[in-house]
Chain A
Amino acid sequence: MENNPLQLTVSEFVALTNQTLEYAYPTVTVIGEVTEFRVSQGKWVSFKLKDAGAVVGCFLVLSQLRMQIEDGMKLMVVANPRLNNKGFFSLNVRAMKPVGEGSIKKGFELLKAKLEAEGLFAPERKRRLPRVPQHVALVTSTESAAYADFCKIINERWGGLSVEVAHTQVQGVPAPDQMIRAIRYFNSLEVLPEVLVIVRGGGSAEDLMAFNDEPLARAIAESRIPTLVGVGHEVDNSLADMVADVRAATPTNAAEILVPDRNEIIRSAHQQAKSLSYQLIQAIDEYSARTKEQLNAAFRRIQEKLDEHFERLATLRLATAQLNPENILRRGYAFLRGEVKVGETVEIETINSIAKAEVKDVRAK
């Protein structure tokens, strides 16, 4: 006892230990398997990390929990070591991430199930993107190949687009918060962009883990601007994809979904104009055919009237012919011209001759 000059109260000892820890190990990164995970009073999260030889307690507030965890998962935590006033040593967790394929997958499935149960992936929540947007917001790393690909494709396909780009990290611990700030920035603009695009190229499951962050998924789901997310390769699925209004398989695919191909639009415009010429020719043909048919009908009617008149004329001709005096002469009768008085000369006309004769006698009949 005499060899140790330092005498402290318990409180002083705890304070000194914490000062020493803060000086020597302000932040530590510890990897271990989760055990005894629990949430208390809907506010506090505690669990232990263990390995084959030791166990250490971990603590954080629920609002800092960005992923779903359960016993058995392997985690890497970034934490401040602390000795509390009750003499318990713990790690105050600042950040954490699952380690190893199994744990990453497990964390993903747990959070997916939670968000799905809340209806965040429901098809009825999905909004349609404008066919041809004019003002677009893009969240990505401007140093990435995905950004270069995205710009190349939209420039090839379309023009007249105003794109505002928020440069953020797209992997690592700071990435989700940076993307969330960018999403909130665009959603706070006085004139909202018509589409919010988030893109990132391919990578390992760990590289893409930022897109399985719960607050980021919620920020995308809450965006007032319709969202289009293209992360990784076609086979990669992230929670950011699932909550987005439209999922693109890749950043290139996001550009293809965002804007139409100008060459296709040009072809389509000419095709539409050309189709009108066919319709116009068809309409003229139909109009001509109808006019021709009407003219034919008119001619038929005129012809019918003419036929009727000709028939009537023929009847009249026949009747008239029957009244012809020559026909009477042919039947053997004769015309007598002159005054029928005794001593007068009269003219007698037959079919073949005209004779003159003197009236010798007149008697009443």
Chain B
Amino acid sequence: MSSKPKSFQSLILTLHDYWSAQGCVILQPHDVEVGAGTLHPATVLRALGPKPWNAAYVQPSRRPGDGRYGENPNRLQHYYQYQVILKPNPPNMQDLYLGSLEAIGLDLRTHDIRFVEDDWENPTVGAWGLGWEVWCDGMEVSQYTYFQQVGGLDVSPVAGELTYGLERLAMYVFGVDNVYDLPFNDPDAPLGHLTYGDVFLENERQQSEANFHGYDVAVLKGQFEDMERQVPLMLARSYQGKALVLPAYDMVLKASHLFNLMNARGAIAVAERASYIGRIRDLCKMCASEWVKQQEAA
């Protein structure tokens, strides 16, 4: 076991080490904007189909509406989620998870760790599962879910998903009250020390302004509709006998992010919301069933 991490990045590296040792492939972030780590194709698509799959990765997540111009110590429009997906979920998955908390320096006999009912769902990708939010001394540090459905399809075998809110977890582990004060790298590093704020504060300011006021709503709407049209076209094309489901899913992700941007711009009326979410879900379902077809055929 590595020694207790001293910085945001070493916390990530510790988790990588830990899950790598369990047999996960350690992936890099998906290069399309997403609202949550779950949406990475390594989770949404790989959770489906009969093949085993164990992976861990960090995913930058964008929630345009959560931007606070860098002025709120707890809220960011761009933040990191650490994502683990284990399919089929091993019988000792809870113990593996608790082992990861221990690895990042939490003493499980001193802290109060609790599994509190929280049934996860994500209507835009037609996904739901049962599980818990995991509390450490009253703070939610992870989401733990046994996927039951994704893209409207049953997940079988069941995939277990862990999501760590990295900034929040790090703030707790390092006893920091403001996210921008987090040590990004080791405070004693020979080449110099940077905080989370040094790295991301300006990004939060500019992106917040863009999210709330910058983007042209008509352009966003046009792009959304373009993506919506592209998905079935992409699925209609095939290579070596397989429909282009992976590019098609990227289009779904883009549509989903464009929807979030429109939402942050206040361009979506309450009544329209459900219909937009339904449109994205339909696109996602098309991809999911095509993916499962290919997985089962292989």
Q: Do A and B come from one complex?
A: no
